[in-house]
Structure 1
Amino acid sequence: MSHPPWAFPSLLLLLQVFAIVVFGSIINEGYVNTDKSPLLRCAFNGNESACNYAITIGLIAFLACSLFLVVDLYFQQISSVKDRKRVVLADLGFSGFWAFLWFVSFCFLANQWQRTAPSKAASHAGDAARAAIAFSFFSIISWVALALKALQRFRLGTDMSLFATDQFPPDPNAGYPGYPTGSGVESTDTYQSPPFSETLDTSPKGYQVPAY
């Protein structure tokens, strides 16, 4: 299925993969129990807010990308120009805001993991923690790229030609289109005699032109 020039399904799918890695790593291996307590605690310095924050924005990012993919498929069917502009603006605003949230997640997780005391439990969750931190950083770059692309296509659409060039009536003040120019060579097949035409004889029978 063909996509409009402002669609980026491959980038959205990549963002979904990054989000899955972040919240999947934390949910599966980001909670460990210590020697002092059998209860599971967040591997990032025992700070539950760090785990909850990364899981939350990862899940929302995954759902948002799924929504954008659906909108992308039906973008051409949106007849209203204003609705199309709202879709592009929503993409721009959400992408920029989520890039900032991923930046906060990267700083938050990296800071809490640096403060985590070395232990057997922390060593067990080390790969998952580092994966969550790394893919939070990758998500920053990807969401910034998505926001820049949205800004670019919004600027291209300020003349309205990007959103719907076929939805505006022709300008009544515009001149009529010119006639197509021919090759300059006349053809005998260009014109045909009209039907039921009579052939007039310039010198009828029985009449002579008098000589003066």
Structure 2
Amino acid sequence: KQRPVVCPSLAQVFSIVVFGSIVNEGYVNDGRDAELKCIFNQNENACNYGIAIGIIAFFACIFFFIVDLYFQQISSVKDRKRVVLLDLGFSGFWSFLWFVAFCFLANQWQQTKPGIGVSQGADAARAAIAFSFFSIISWVALTVMAMQRYHLGTDMSLFATDQFAPDPNTGYPGYPTGSGIENTETYQSPPFTETIDTSPKGYQIPTY
């Protein structure tokens, strides 16, 4: 069973918005010197954290999307279980990291002093904070779906699908020709039998 494509796609889009907003407009000039500083209270760690978690989440979405495409081709039950556990663990862990990112960026934004550069990049900063929150929801949803896939595997409906026929209504194949089971239609009439006739030809009733 594959996950819906919508949720990983949304998580990927949200991650692009977060690190894209910080990279493009997250570094501003405060007007006193030419050096660009992080818009979030001039805290470089805030910008670096947002960019790093967004980029890793972006490539993780691509990786797990490819894994979902080839999941049914994984013949080993243990490998399938490892893939699902990896998906479950990573999604849960990244949900927590997005929560940290949202709290961190929001806190630093509240402490940011107004200025010319800050006012110019305010929309990008708010977008990064907002989509960090949306990323929490999307990755929690991915964690729930991974948990459902793992529970499906406990009854072997997920981890051993290759051992069952693709269509449960498909009947058993018939015996092949020459398998040793003969057809009754191939039997010939028993020998030494003739059709019973009440008046055999060539026989005359004797007269007395």
Same fold (TM > 0.5): yes
Under TM normalisation by the shorter chain, which class is it?
0.7 to 0.9
Instruction: Find 1:200's aligned residue among 193, 205, 208.
Output: 193
- 1:161 and 2:157 correspond: yes
Instruction: Find 1:144's aligned residue among 140, 146, 150.
Output: 140
**Which runs of 5 or more structure 1 residues have no equivalent in the other structure?**
169-189, 206-212
**Which runs of 5 or more structure 2 residues have no equivalent in the other structure?**
165-182, 201-208
Q: Distance in 2 between matches of 1:94 and 1:40?
A: 34
Which secondary structure does the structure 1 equivalent of 2:19 belong to?
helix
Residue 31 of structure 1: aligned partner: 27
Larger Rg: 2
Q: TM-score, normalised by structure 2?
A: 0.81
Q: Distance in 1 between matches of 2:45 and 2:81?
A: 37
Q: TM-score, normalised by structure 1?
A: 0.79
Residue 10 of structure 2: aligned partner: 14
| Sequence identity (%) | 65
Q: Distance in 1 between matches of 2:84 and 2:158?
A: 11
Residue 206 of structure 2: aligned partner: none
- 1:62 and 2:55 correspond: no
Count of residues paired in the alignment: 183
1:177-203 CA-partner distances (Å, limit 9, x unpaired):
xxxxxxxxxxxxx96461364362497
Deviation at residue 35 of structure 1 after TM alignment: 1.6
